[in-house]
Amino acid sequence: MARKFFNVLSDTTLFLREWIAHPQRTGSVVPSSPRLAAAMARWIPSDPESYVLELGPGTGPVTEALLQRGLREDRLIAIEFNETLAATLQKKYPRAHIIAGDAWLMDELLKKISVKSVGAVISSLPLLNFTPEQAAALSGKIRTVLQPQGHFVQFSYQIAKKRTRGGDDFNLVASQLVWLNLPPARVSVYQK
Ligand SMILES: C[S@@+](CC[C@H](N)C(=O)[O-])C[C@H]1O[C@@H](n2cnc3c(N)ncnc32)[C@H](O)[C@@H]1O
């Protein structure tokens, strides 16, 4: 119990430090709550061989929920722009593919590790801090790497809107409000 409390405290401190240094990119002051992370992780593919691509894992609350939901660590690929956060996450999950890089280059980054497609894309990227054109470019890349039945999951703090930025070219298949998060968030789930 005490160990868990200190882990959460240390992740929160690290995240806050990175937010002070890069507020636009980091996008929130504290990591997502376990409730929000679980709502994202529900959408992992049922095939245990499928890869899941996580975008913007930060200190890893969603990563942790994905693994708790049953995703094999060696099937997790996470792209995190912040090198400090990526290195910390790789230490926590040594068998996962944690890539320090830009999510907008996902196609090239996946090619480098010989992965052609993924069964789900789970994104915590702060898309409201990017232009609609940048979000559309990202969603184009997601379409190319996502398998036909795969899910693209994105959360947003704009809770009144069911479609998040970047979701226009997808079919919205589910939407869930998560009040127990700071601030409350909406999880939107898309398919091609
Ligand atoms: C809102 S935080 C979410 C962190 C974590 N998943 C959570 O839910 O607490 C957004 C994360 O996206 C990362 N990020 C921002 N721009 C990125 C980019 N172009 N490529 C990859 N990661 C990026 C940030 O460094 C930050 O860790």
Exposure string over 107-125, b if 16+ CB within 10 A, otherwise e: eebbeeeebeebbbbbbbb
CA of 55 to the centre of ligand 1 (A): 7
Q: Note every long-range contact of 86-92, with CB atoms under 8 Å and residues 24 or more positions apart, other chains counting.
A: 88/14, 88/59, 88/60, 89/57, 89/59, 89/60, 89/63, 92/60, 92/63
Kindly list the structural domains of the chain, giving each domain's residue range(s) and its CATH number in brackets, ordered by start. Answer: 2-191 (3.40.50.150)
User: In which residue are the tokens 């899941």 written?
Assistant: 52
Q: For ligand 1, atom 19, which residue shows the shortest CA distance?
A: 102
Ligand 1 pocket member 81 (CB < 6 A) = yes
Per-residue pLDDT tens, the chain, 192 aa: give them: 666 666 666 777 876 777 777 877 777 778 999 999 999 999 999 999 999 999 999 999 999 999 999 999 999 999 999 999 999 999 999 999 999 999 999 999 999 999 999 999 999 999 999 999 999 999 999 999 999 999 999 999 999 988 999 999 999 999 999 999 999 999 999 999
| pTM, entire model | 0.93
